Structure 1
Amino acid sequence: MNNVNVRAFRIKRSYIALRPFIPSCQWVYGFHVTLNMEVLRPVLVNINGRIYRKNAVKEESYDDEEDDYSYYGTASDQCAVDEPCDLHAIEQTEKGFRCAIDIPSVLHKYIIGKKGETRKRLESETKTSINIPKQGVEGPIVITGAQKASVASAVTRLELLIESFRRKQPFTHFLSFALNHPSIQESFLRFKDEVLEQCSQDPGVDASIFQNPAKLHLTVGTLALLSEAEVQQASELLNQCEEFIRDLTEGKPLPLVVSGIEYMNDDPSMVDVLYAKVQVKDGSDTLQVIADRLVEHFASSGLMVKEWDHVKLHGTVMNTLFRKDPSAEDKGSHGKQNTKDREAFDARNILQTFGAYHFGEFELNCVKISQRYSSDCTGFYSSAGEVMFS
C-alpha cells in the first residue's frame, strides 16, 4: 500500500471513529467531512410512550392482493432484540413464554407479508411463533417462545414494524374546534355570495371550492384510529385533558372572533387553501395553548404525530380539494396534501377586497374528536368524544 493509500485509509478510519461525535460538517485531518444527518439525527418513533430510533429499511410494494406485503429490515434492526417489553405482560407457561398484543386487524397483513414471508422471517429471527387472527377478525396477536427474551424481541419488532405502516394509513378522525355557530354560518354564506359575485371571473374561483358552512371548524390534529378500541382510547385521552382545559378557560366558554382571511402558500395567484383567522376576543393565547397541549398529550400516547412546534389554527373557507370531492376535509398543516390534478385558484382579488372580512363572534365551549366523512344531526361531523369548557 503506497503512502497516499495509507493516508487515505487512516483518514477513512478517523472519519468513521469520529462520526458520532462531530457535527454534520467538519474538518478531519485537513479533509472536509460531511456526515449523513440520518445517523446523527435519526427519525424517532413513539410507541406507547417509548422512543425508538428508526433504522433505514427497504420496503417493497406489490400489486394489491391479500397478504401481499413484505418488510425487509437491515442488520441493525437486531438492536431491537434486547429492548425491554415492559408494556406487555409476558406470561410463563408450561411450554415457555407467551405474550398477547392488540393490533388492529387492518394492519395484520403487514405482519403476514407476501405469502407469509414477513411472519416467517420474524419467527425465524426471534425463535418464536406468531399466531394471527383470521382475516378481518379483531383479536390479539399471540407470540410464544421458549425464551422470555425471544418473545420480548418479537413484540418489540412487531411494534416497530406496525408503527411504520400505521403512519401510512389515512386519518380517520381529528381533534376539532367547531366554528359552525349559526351567526358564523350566516356570515360565511354572505362571504361566499359576495366573492362569487365580484370574483367569479378570476381563474379557478367557483362555488365548488367553498367549505360546507355546517362543517366550518379548526383542525387541531389528525388521528388514524383503526379499531373501536383505539377510538375508545382516544376518547379517554381527551377526557384526561378536561382539567387543564378548564383551568385555562376558568370553566367558561371561550369568546372568539372570526375575522380576516389568509392563504396557505406564498403565491396569491396560485392558492389551494384560503382560511379565516380566529383569535380569542381578549387577545390572549388561550386557544393556542389549549391546541398545543392537546397535541402534546395525544402525541405522547403515540396516537398522533407532532409535526410542528405550534398548531396552525385556521378555519378553512375555500379549498381546491372540494372541487372534485365536496366531502374532503382540509388537512391544513397535518399530513401531505393531495396535489394530483388539483386546480389552484387566483385569490389576489379576493384578498384585496375581502382581506379584513368579519365573520362574527361566538363562544366556543368544547373540543371534539370528529369522525372524517361523517355528519351528525346538525350537519357537523359525528363526534367520538368531547370535552366541555364549562
Structure 2
Amino acid sequence: MLACRTLFRIDRVFGFTSRCFLSKPESFSILSFRGSENSAMDGFKKQKMVNLVWRPISTQSSLILTEAGNEVQEVAQCSKSSDVSKEVIEGETASVVSAGNHSVSLEVGASLIKFIRGKEGTTQMKLEEEMGVKIILPSSRDEDHISIEGGSVDCVTKASERIATIIDEVVRSPSLDYSHFVSLPLAIHPELVDKLVNFQNSILGIHSIASDKQDDQANRATTNVAVDLKANSETNQVNVGIKSIPIVSYPPKAKSKSSTLLDLGIEKSIFIKPSTFHLTVVMLKLWNKDRVNAARDVLKSISPSVMDALDNKPVFIRLKGLDCMRGPLDKTRVLYAPVEEIGDEGRLLRACQVITDAFVKAGLVLEKDAKQSLKLHVTVMNARHRKRRKNNKKKMETFDAREIHKQFGNEDWGEYLIREAHLSQRFVFDQNGFYRCCASLPFPGEQKA
C-alpha cells in the first residue's frame, strides 16, 4: 500500500463551457485557482471571473455554482465537512488577479518549505526559470501555504506537479525527520523515573565528583610546614627559621572518570531523559495540519478495537536487564531494556498491531515502516542523540557499553501498568516533561482487589 500520498494534484483544464468538469481529487491540501477573461476560460462573459478551489479529499466530489453580481464561482467540494470559508463562497471577498495572470495556492506544510526553497534559494530559482512562474514562499515559519503565479494554466500546473514530486521524494527520504509517533507512556510511574535517574548518575559519576573534592581538601589539610619563631626584644622583630619542610610526594594524577567516559563514547547527551520514557508503537511523518488531524481521528476511532484486543483487561509489563539493538556491545548504537508482558498472553502486541494497521490503512505510515515488525522495548541510551562537539568534526556514532552491561545487564526495573496510548509530537514537551500529547486512547484500568 502506498503509505505516502501526494500532497496535491491539479488536473489540467483544457477548456470551459457553461459546465466545468473536474476529476476526482486525491489529496488533503487546499488549492485555489484564479484566472481572467483573457485565459483559456474565454467561454464565459468578459465581466465574469472564475474561482476554482480544490477542497480536502473525500471519495466523491460535487460542484457548487454561485453567482454574486457579475461574478461566477465554481467550487469543487471535496470535503465531507460543511465549513466552507467565506473567502471561497462570497464573491466580494475573492481576490482579483490582473488579466492574463494565473495563481495557485498550495498547502504543503511548514516543515517542507525549506526543501522547496533549497540551499540559498537554488531550488526555487531553478523551478521559476524552467517553469516560467513566480513562487511566493511564506515569510513566517508557522505558515503552510505557498503561491505559484504564471502566465498560463499550463505552466502553473506543471510547476505544481514538479513541487509535488519534490515533496514526495523528501517525505520518503531521511531528510525529513519523523514529527510524531504513537507512544505508550512509562514516565507516568515515578518509581521507574527514580531508578533511571540513579542509573544515569551512577554511570556519569555525578556523586563521585563531590567526594573527589573532599579528598583534595583533606590532602591539603594534612600538609604541614615546621617553623621556629624567635623574638628579638631589642629590635622588636620576629625571626622566622624554617626548621624542616617535609617532602611530600603525590602519586601521578589518575585519569579522571569523565575522560574515561569520553573515550568510551559515553556522555550525558546520549541518555534518554527519564521524563520521556515510553514504548514506541509506530513512527509517523505528519508534515501538515491535515495529517495531524487525520492521525487524531484514527487514534480516537480505534478505541473499541483496541479494547477487544486487550480483552478489556489491564495489561502489565516487566522491564528487566539491558541489551543493545544490533551489533557488539563495544560498538553500541542503542541500549534498551527488554519488555515482557506479564502473563505472556500477547494482548499488548495485538493491541499495538491494531493501532499500527489503522494508521497504515489511513495512509499515515511510510511503506518501509509498515513492513517492519514491532519490537517492544524501552530505549535507555541512543548514540544518535549525541551532541556534536565544536572541536570534533566527526560525531561518534557508537559507544562502548560493555561495563554498563556488566553492571546492569540483569537489572530489575520493575513491573508497570500500561494506562494509555498517546499521539505524541517529537521535539515538543508538555509541562510534565513528556512529549506533547496530541490525542490519547485510554487502556483498561487497574482492577481492584
Q: Do they fold alike, i.e. is TM over 0.5?
A: yes
Against the structure 1 CA distance between its residues 224 and 45, is the aligned structure 2 distance closer, same or farther, given a 3 Å change threshold? closer
Q: Distance in 2 between matches of 1:277 and 1:155?
A: 47
Q: 2:144 matched to which residue of 1?
A: 138
Whether the 8 Å CA contact 2:329–2:401 is kept in 1: the answer is yes
**1:162 partnered with 2:167:** yes
Find the aligned partners of 1:323 and 1:302 in 2 and give their Cα distance. Answer: 32
Deviations along 1:288-319, one digit per CA (max 9) or x if unpaired, are: 33333433332343333243431232211122
Maintained 8 Å contact 1:48/1:301: no
Q: Which amino acid aligns with 1:318?
A: M
Asked if the contact 1:48–1:300 (Cα under 8 Å) also holds between the matched residues in 2, the reply is no
1:320 aligns to 2:383 (yes or no): yes
State whether structure 2 residue 141 is matched by structure 1 residue 117: no
Q: 1:248 to 1:138 in 2, by over 3 A?
A: same
The amino acid that maps onto 1:264 is M
Deviation at 1:170, TM superposition (A): 2.2
Per the TM alignment, residue 152 of structure 1 is displaced from its structure 2 partner at its CA by 8.6
User: Which residue matches 2:420?
Assistant: 366
Structure 1 residue 139 displacement after superposition: 4.0
Q: Which amino acid aligns with 2:112?
A: L
| Cα offsets for 1:167-193 (capped at 9, x unmatched) | 322222222111211121122234335
Rg (Cα) greater in structure: 2
* Structure 1: runs of 5 or more not aligned: 1-42, 51-83, 326-338
1:216 aligns with 277
CA RMSD in angstroms, aligned pairs only: 4.0
Match in the other structure for 2:357: 296
Q: How many residues align?
A: 295
2:310 counterpart residue number: 249
CA gap of 1:144–1:115, structure 2 versus 1, over 3 A, is closer
1:47 positional shift: 0.9
Partner of 1:265: 326
Q: Paired residue for 2:191, among 159, 183, 199? A: 183
Contact 2:386 2:395 in 1 (8 A): no
Report the AA paired with residue 347 of structure 1.
A
| Equivalent residue number for residue 26 of structure 2 | 87
Offset at 1:274? Answer: 0.8
Matched residues in 2 for 1:340 and 1:261: separation? 28
- Structure 2 CA distance, aligned partners of 1:346 and 1:133? 46
Q: Which moved more, 1:346-355 or 1:133-142?
A: 133-142
Deviates more, 1:296-305 or 1:201-210: 201-210
* Matching residue of 1:46: 4
Please tell me whether residue 192 in structure 1 is matched to residue 200 in structure 2: yes
1:103 and 2:108 correspond? yes
- Match for 1:175: what amino acid? V
SS of 1:46's equivalent in the other structure is: coil
- TM (normalized to structure 1)? 0.61
SS at match of 1:226: coil
CA distance in 1, matches of 2:300, 2:116: 32
CA contact (8 A) 2:7 2:164 kept: no
C-alpha distance in structure 1 between counterparts of 2:384 and 2:424, whole Å: 19
Distance 1:206 1:291, change over 3 A: same
Q: Do the aligned partners of 1:47 and 1:301 also contact (CA within 8 Å) in 2?
A: no
Give TM-score scaled by structure 2 length.
0.54
In 1, are the aligned partners of 2:128 and 2:135 still within 8 Å (CA)?
no
- Aligned-partner Cα distance in 1 for 2:288–2:7: 19
